[in-house]
Homo-oligomer: A and B are copies of this chain.
Amino acid sequence: MPGSVGLIERYLAKIDRAGILSSTARAAFVAIPRLTRDYPNNHDVIEEGQRSTRACLVETGLVSRYRTLQSGVRQIVSFHITADMVDLQSVLFVVTDHAIRTHGPTRIVSLAHHDILAVAEDFPDIARALWFDTLVDAAIFREWTVNVGRRNSRQRTAHLLLELATKFAAVGLLANDTFEFPVTQSDLADALAITSVHLNRIMQWLRGERYIRTHLRSITIENWPDMIALAGFRPGYLHPEGPKLAGRQQPRERDG
Contact = CB atoms under 8 A, between A and B. Distances in A.
A93 interface: yes
Interface stretch (A32-40, A143-151, A210-218): A143-151
A239 interface: yes
Number of copies: 2
Contacts of A193: 148-150
A75 B149 contact: yes
A120 B124 CA distance: 7
A135 B94 contact: no
Contact of A120 (B93, B128, B237): B128
A142 to B, nearest CB: 5
A135 B88 contact: yes
A73 interface: yes
A98 B95 CA distance: 29
Contact of A75 (B77, B139, B146, B243): B146
Interface of A: 65, 67, 69-71, 73-75, 77-78, 88-89, 91-95, 97-98, 113-114, 117-118, 120-122, 124, 127-128, 130-132, 134-135, 137-139, 141-146, 148-151, 192-193, 232, 236-237, 239, 241, 243-244, 246-248
29 contacts: A69-B150, A70-B232, A77-B142, A88-B135, A89-B138, A91-B244, A92-B244, A94-B241, A95-B236, A95-B241, A97-B139, A97-B237, A98-B142, A113-B244, A113-B246, A114-B246, A117-B128, A118-B247, A120-B128, A124-B124, A127-B131, A141-B141, A141-B142, A141-B144, A141-B145, A148-B193, A149-B192, A149-B193, A150-B193
